[in-house]
Amino acid sequence: MSSPSMPRRVALVSVHTSPLAQPGTGDAGGMNVYVWQTATRMAQRGIEVEIFTRATSSSDAPVVTAAPGITVRNVVAGPFEGLDKRDLPAQLCAFTAGVLRAEAMHKPGYYDLIHSHYWLSGQVGWLARDRWGVPLVHTAHTLAAVKNASLAKGDTAEPMLRVIGEQQVVDEADRMVVNTDTEATELVSMYNADPDRIDVVNPGADLDVYSPGSRELARAELGLRADETILTFVGRIQPLKAPDVLLAAAAPIIERARRSGRPVRVLIVGGPSGSGLDRPTALMDLAGELGIGAEVTFLPPQPSAQLAQIYRASDLVAVPSYSESFGLVAVEAQACGTPVVAADVGGLSVAVAHGRSGLLVDGHDVEDWTAAIEGLLVTPDRLAGMRLNARPHAEQFSWEQTADDLLASYSAAMHSFAARNPGSIGAASARRAARRLRRIRPKVHVSQ
C-alpha cells in the first residue's frame, strides 16, 4: 500500500482492445500488456479493478472474472467482427451507454476513479467522470500528432478526428499519465497540456517471466540451429513498427554470412496490424525480393513464456519503430539478457541504455542499421558485455513499481478532484480512503 488515498474500486476503460487478447496482431499490443499487468498488481494490493472493453465475439461473456479482484466487462457496441479501430468513434455512444448502465446497477459511489487508456477510452471516461462525480486519469499510450510527425513511408496519417478527440481528453482529464519525460514534453508542446497535471510513470516488464536462461536450451525447444546468429523482431507487422528496415539491413549481413559459412537468421514474430492489413504478405514478399527468404522465419504472436524463450534464443532484438511511447519489447528482451538495437525515438531512449545494454540508431537509414547490427556481431566481447548489462538495466522497470507509481497518481487525482468538488462522490471517496489509510505512510513517489 503506497498512497494516502488508495481507491477501493477502479474502472479501467480500454475500448478498442481487450487485455485478454494475445498481443502482437490486430489492435492488440503493448497497451494490452500494460492494462493487464497494472490491473493484476493493483488487485494484489486489495483494489478491485473492473475493465470495460468492447466485445468482439458473440461468444464473449458479458462479465468475466479474469483473476482474483479483476472483472472484465465485454460491452456490446457495434458488430462483433469486421470493425477497424478507425470505425470505432461511431460506436462510442453505444459503448458509453453500456458503461453507464453497468454503474447504474450499483449505489452511487461504486467506483472511486476512472483510468482511461487511449483517446477513444478517454472520450468515454470523460462522460463517465461527469456522470459519476469521480476523477478521470488518462493514459494516451500513443499520440496522433507524434505519429504524424514521423510517418513511415507509405503509412497513413492519423485523422484530424483523432487529433481533436485527443485534445478534448487532454483538456478534460484530471491527471495525465505518460511513460517518459519525452512524452510529457510532447503533450505540453503539441497539446498545450498543463504540466502540473502530468505524472511520468515508466511501464515495466514481468521480471519473473522475462529472465535470463540457456540460449542452447531455448533454441533446441524452438527448433532453431545452435550455430546460427539470430536477429529478432517482435511486434505487430505494420509500417509504424518498421520490420522492413530490419529485413533490408539484414540482407547484406546474411549475404556476407553465406560466404563466411556463419549463418544468420532473422525471426519475425507477430501478425499484420493497422495499415499492414492492406498487404498482409508484404514482409514475406520483401524477404523474397531481397533474396533472403530462406533465412527469414515468420512466427505468429506468442504467449509470454514462449516469447521469453525467443528472446533468450536471440543474439540481438531489433526495435526499428518510427514511433514508440516506450517500447515494452525492448525491456522484455533485455530482461532476458538479450541486447537491443532500437531506433532513437520516443521512450526507446529510456528503455535502452545506449552503449551499455544495446544501441540506439538515429533514423531509419538502412546502411546505418546494417552498420549498427554488424558492428556488434563482429565484436563479440562488446556484445557479451551488453548481455551482462541488459538484465540490470531492465530491472529498473518492474510492473510492481509501475503500479505503485500509478496509485500515487490516483491519489493526487482524488485529492485535487475532492478539493475542486467538495460535495462530489469523488470527494466522499477520497475522505473514506484517507480514513482507511490514516496509519499508512506513502512509500512510493511518482517517477519524474
Distances (CA, A) of 33 to 30, 117, 206, 273, 338: 5, 12, 10, 17, 20
**Residues 109 and 160 reside in one and the same domain:** yes
28 is in an annotated binding site: yes
DSSP run (H or E) holding 159: none
Q: pTM for this structure?
A: 0.90
**Residues 151 and 293 reside in one and the same domain:** no
DSSP state letters, 4-24: TT--SEEEEE-SS--TTSPTT
22 is in an annotated binding site: yes
Cβ partners under 8 Å of residue 274, min gap 6: 85, 236, 238, 239, 240
- Residue 221 maps to a domain: yes
How many domains are there within the chain?
2
148 is in an annotated binding site: no
Largest CA distance in the chain: 76
32 is in an annotated binding site: yes
Q: Are the C-beta atoms of 433 and 112 separated by less than 8 Å?
A: yes
118 is in an annotated binding site: yes
- Residue 1 maps to a domain: no
142 is in an annotated binding site: yes
- Residue 376 maps to a domain: yes
27 is in an annotated binding site: yes
235 is in an annotated binding site: no
130 is in an annotated binding site: no
- Residue 419 maps to a domain: yes
How far apart, in whole angstroms, are the C-alpha atoms of residue 48 and residue 40?
10
Closest to 72 (Cα-Cα) out of 56, 92, 88, 52: 52
Q: Residue 297 corresponds to which amino acid?
A: T
- Residue 210 maps to a domain: no
**Residues 407 and 336 reside in one and the same domain:** no
- Residue 37 maps to a domain: yes
**Residues 21 and 82 reside in one and the same domain:** yes
- Residue 46 maps to a domain: yes
147 is in an annotated binding site: no
Looking at residue 437, its pLDDT comes to 52
**Residues 301 and 422 reside in one and the same domain:** no
**Residues 270 and 241 reside in one and the same domain:** yes
Beta strands in 157-244 (DSSP E): 175-178, 198-200, 229-234
16 is in an annotated binding site: yes
71 is in an annotated binding site: no
- Residue 448 maps to a domain: no
**Residues 376 and 412 reside in one and the same domain:** no
Cβ partners under 8 Å of residue 48, min gap 6: 8, 9, 10, 69, 71
Distances (CA, A) of 96 to 11, 91, 128, 368: 13, 9, 8, 47
312 is in an annotated binding site: yes
Beta strands in 167-283 (DSSP E): 175-178, 198-200, 229-234, 264-269
Tell me the β-bridge partners of 340: 317, 358
**Residues 39 and 157 reside in one and the same domain:** yes
**Residues 258 and 113 reside in one and the same domain:** no
**Residues 38 and 172 reside in one and the same domain:** yes
Q: Any idea how long the chain is? A: 448
What CATH number does the domain containing 98 carry?
A: 3.40.50.2000
**Domain extent at residue 287:** 215-395
Per-residue pLDDT of the chain (448 residues; tens, 9 = 90+): 334 478 999 999 999 888 887 766 666 678 999 999 999 999 999 999 999 999 988 889 999 999 999 999 999 999 988 787 788 999 999 999 999 999 999 999 999 999 999 999 999 999 999 999 999 999 999 999 999 998 888 788 999 999 999 999 999 999 999 999 999 999 999 999 999 999 999 999 999 999 999 999 999 999 999 999 999 999 989 899 999 999 999 999 999 999 888 899 999 999 886 655 567 788 999 999 999 999 999 999 999 999 999 999 999 999 999 999 999 999 999 999 999 999 999 999 999 999 999 999 999 999 999 999 999 999 999 999 999 999 999 999 999 999 999 999 999 999 999 998 887 776 667 666 665 554 444 444 444 3
